[in-house]
A and B are shown apart, each in its own frame.
Chain A
Amino acid sequence: DTGVSQDPRHKITKRGQNVTFRCDPISEHNRLYWYRQTLGQGPEFLTYFQNEAQLEKSRLLSDRFSAERPKGSFSTLEIQRTEQGDSAMYLCASSFTKDREFNEQYFGPGTRLTVT
């Protein structure tokens, strides 16, 4: 059973550096989501893709953040010029769209980012 996978699991970087995370969704899931979770908080929506199209972005997603999903398969989330406030768990989820039905989102294990 191949669930959602994320790489790396942990990343420590210095302030000002760029980082990139990868998410591999469950095969044939057409929707992919990125969330950010800080300590003691629930996940906060960042952005989502339907196939390769990025359809919605949260106001939390500053210009330093960019996400891609080429060919509608895996996705990358890049953070440029990292700041200490970017330290968080970055979660990826995927789902198979069924209009007018509940779409269960399956989460990956997350990438924990620490900015020093």
Chain B
Amino acid sequence: QKEVEQDPGPLSVPEGAIVSLNCTYSNSAFQYFMWYRQYSRKGPELLMYTYSSGNKEDGRFTAQVDKSSKYISLFIRDSQPSDSATYLCAMSAFNPPGGYQKVTFGTGTKLQVIP
């Protein structure tokens, strides 16, 4: 069983729709929860991250973390064609000073927003 599970999609929605992307995980040590966006033939770029449980909003994007259920979500409001990309969830555990926060990625969900 993978530490991080993510539905690969693809997910196709009309422009303006609300998009919900989700991941589950098994490692209870994870404390940082990230969402990356990756366009075709490009490297991933960080969209937002949260520490521990709770919600975080940034413009049209909202990230939610429920550590009790080991479940994280990313919501995209008023989706745009430019949001078409692969969305990767990623997680890391907190390390002591000088330690490395190894990042474990999900498989990614491919999203297409149709004009």
Q: Tell me the A residues contacting B by CB distance below 8 Å.
A: 4, 31, 40-45, 48, 50, 55-56, 91, 93, 99-100, 102-110, 112
Kindly list chain B residues whose C-beta atoms are within 8 Å of the C-beta of A108: 43
Contact A102 to B51, CB < 8 A, known contacts A4-B43, A42-B108, A107-B44: yes
- Closest chain B CB from A28 CB (angstroms): 18
Q: Total A-B residue pairs with C-beta atoms closer than 8 Å?
A: 55
Q: How many residues of B contact A (CB 8 A)?
A: 26
Contact A105 to B46, CB < 8 A, known contacts A42-B88, A42-B107, A100-B97: yes
- Closest chain A CB from B9 CB (angstroms): 10
Residue of B nearest to A3 (CB): B43
- Closest chain A CB from B76 CB (angstroms): 19
When chains A and B are docked, how far (Å) is the Cα of A90 from the Cα of B51? 28
When chains A and B are docked, how far (Å) is the Cα of A56 from the Cα of B45? 23
Binds A, one of B11-19, B57-65, B67-75, B98-106: B98-106
When chains A and B are docked, how far (Å) is the Cα of A112 from the Cα of B43? 11
When chains A and B are docked, how far (Å) is the Cα of A106 from the Cα of B101? 14
Cβ B51 vs Cβ A42 within 8 A: no
Kindly list chain A residues whose C-beta atoms are within 8 Å of the C-beta of B44: 43, 91, 107
- Closest chain A CB from B23 CB (angstroms): 10
Contact A109 to B51, CB < 8 A, known contacts A42-B106, A102-B32: no
Kindly list chain B residues whose C-beta atoms are within 8 Å of the C-beta of A4: 43
Residue of B nearest to A99 (CB): B97
Kindly list chain A residues whose C-beta atoms are within 8 Å of the C-beta of B90: 42
Kindly list chain B residues whose C-beta atoms are within 8 Å of the C-beta of A100: 94, 97
Kindly list chain A residues whose C-beta atoms are within 8 Å of the C-beta of B105: 42-44
Residue of A nearest to B8 (CB): A40
Contact A41 to B102, CB < 8 A, known contacts A104-B46, A109-B43: no
29 residue pairs bridging A and B, Cβ less than 8 Å apart: A31-B100, A40-B107, A41-B108, A42-B4, A42-B105, A42-B107, A43-B44, A43-B88, A43-B105, A45-B102, A45-B103, A48-B100, A50-B100, A55-B100, A99-B97, A100-B94, A102-B32, A102-B49, A102-B51, A102-B101, A103-B101, A104-B49, A105-B46, A105-B103, A107-B43, A107-B44, A109-B42, A109-B43, A110-B43
